[in-house]
């Protein structure tokens, strides 16, 4: 086999410059109260096409509430929520979907025993023929599913295999590819790496990057700062329902992000406690001064 071609395998991605100026989704001082409990308060967030916005936070920090507002499961009770610059208020996930905001949940919404291609098109099947004989266009669906998955860099031997036989990471990727295919402009990923091993997390992160390179705005919810830092362009840390940090990639290091994520001053207190316990090495933990170093603290934190 002798060819003079250069060794580029596969397609060359289109060299498009993402329009970073106009955000697709924007929250301005948005908040949500359940009765008299303020779950979320004063959160500002922008999602640009072709960028990954990471939302970090510990359990109970308000991450779920935030994605529920954006995906249309709940409505915000304060502030503004804009899509393409227009204020919106979704009452069902379907409305968010129609605006191109798709959510990939942790449990993925797949049917394990069904083949990959049937899962890919479930609920939006392609059909052909007049009514009494209207039938699935299996050829077209398989071809489309295969094409879309390859576009995202996912290669499967057999689209007929039940999706349950795929690894957790692969299933995430199929779910992402499905959302991309069905016209998502903004992809919300709810802790996509939470239940995965190191390698599989890497696979998922690659597809997050692939979605980004296809011009989607990605909201990446996680509590792992390392994963966030690998793909993120912008980082927002939530704590107790408010924004503790909102920083561009150029403004922050992984170390600072990790410290913020871990809860800064609280960690220092924990260090003090742990130092009372024999056998716990606290030498390597950062000093209190490092932990409380203010990094691009937003105005909202003061309120």
- Identify the residue among 19, 139, 254, 265 touching other proteins (CB under 8 A): 254
Is the separation of the CB atoms in 123 and 207 below 8 Å?
Answer: no
Nearer to other proteins, 35 or 130 (CB): 130
Stretch of 3-11, 66-74, 75-83, 286-294 contacting other proteins, by CB under 8 A: 3-11
Stretch of 4-12, 25-33, 82-90, 262-270 contacting other proteins, by CB under 8 A: 4-12
Helix (H, G, I), strand (E, B) or coil at 106: coil
Strands 234-239 vs 52-57: parallel, antiparallel or unpaired: parallel
Interface positions, 52-81, toward other proteins (CB under 8 A): 52
Phi then psi for residue 150, to 5 deg, are -65, -35
- Identify the residue among 66, 156, 196, 245 touching other proteins (CB under 8 A): 156
How far apart are CB 39 and other proteins at their closest, in Å? 23
Interface positions, 198-227, toward other proteins (CB under 8 A): 202, 205-210, 212-213
* Nearest residue to 230 (alpha-carbon basis) of 220, 243, 238: 220
Does residue number 229 form part of the binding site for other proteins (CB under 8 A)?
A: yes
The first and second tokens of residue 224, run together, are 């792992």
- Identify the residue among 63, 233, 236, 244 touching other proteins (CB under 8 A): 233
- Identify the residue among 15, 86, 157, 281 touching other proteins (CB under 8 A): 157
Does residue number 158 form part of the binding site for other proteins (CB under 8 A)?
A: yes
Rounded CA-CA distance 50/236 in Å is 17
How far apart are CB 303 and other proteins at their closest, in Å? 30
* Nearest residue to 13 (alpha-carbon basis) of 209, 301, 237, 238: 209
How far apart are CB 153 and other proteins at their closest, in Å? 4
Sheet holding 37-47, edge to edge: 37-47, 25-34, 78-83, 86-87
Rounded CA-CA distance 32/171 in Å is 32
Encoded one letter per residue, x for contact with other proteins by CB under 8 A and - for no contact, window 96-135 reads ---------x-xxxxxxxx---x--xxxxx-x------xx
Rounded CA-CA distance 93/74 in Å is 9
Rounded CA-CA distance 115/35 in Å is 44
Stretch of 27-35, 37-45, 66-74, 231-239 contacting other proteins, by CB under 8 A: 231-239
- H helices present in 57-154, as ranges: 63-71, 93-98, 116-121, 138-151
What does the binding site for other proteins look like in residue numbers (CB under 8 A)? 8-11, 13, 52, 94, 105, 107-114, 118, 121-125, 127, 134-136, 138, 150-151, 153, 155-158, 161, 202, 205-210, 212-213, 229-233, 249-250, 253-255
């Amino acid at each position: 086999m002798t060819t003079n071609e250069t060794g580029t395998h596969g397609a060359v991605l289109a060299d498009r410059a993402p329009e970073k100026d106009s955000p697709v989704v924007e929250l301005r001082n948005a908040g949500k109260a359940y009765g008299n409990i303020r779950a979320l308060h004063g959160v500002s967030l922008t999602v640009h096409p072709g960028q990954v916005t990471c939302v970090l936070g510990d359990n109970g920090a308000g991450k779920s509430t935030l994605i529920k507002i954006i995906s249309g499961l709940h409505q915000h009770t304060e502030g503004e929520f804009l899509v393409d610059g227009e204020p919106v208020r979704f009452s069902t996930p379907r409305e968010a979907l129609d605006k191109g905001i798709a959510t990939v949940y942790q449990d993925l919404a797949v049917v394990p025993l069904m083949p990959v291609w049937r899962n890919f098109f479930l609920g939006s099947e392609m059909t052909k023929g007049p009514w009494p004989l209207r039938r699935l266009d299996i050829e077209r669906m398989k071809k489309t599913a295969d094409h879309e998955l390859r576009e995202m860099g996912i290669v499967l031997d057999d689209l007929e295999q039940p999706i349950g036989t795929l690894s957790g990471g692969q299933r995430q990727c199929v779910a992402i590819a499905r959302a991309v295919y069905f016209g998502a402009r903004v992809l919300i990923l709810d802790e996509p790496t939470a239940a995965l091993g190191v390698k599989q997390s890497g696979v998922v992160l690659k597809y997050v990057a692939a979605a980004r390179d296809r011009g989607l705005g990605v909201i990446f919810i996680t509590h792992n700062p390392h994963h966030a830092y690998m793909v993120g362009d912008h980082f927002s840390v939530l704590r107790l329902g408010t924004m503790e940090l909102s920083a561009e990639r150029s403004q922050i290091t992984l170390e600072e992000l990790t410290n913020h994520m871990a809860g800064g001053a609280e960690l220092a207190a924990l260090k003090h406690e742990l130092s009372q316990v024999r056998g716990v090495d606290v030498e390597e933990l950062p000093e209190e001064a490092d932990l409380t170093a203010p990094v691009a603290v937003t105005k909202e934190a003061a309120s």
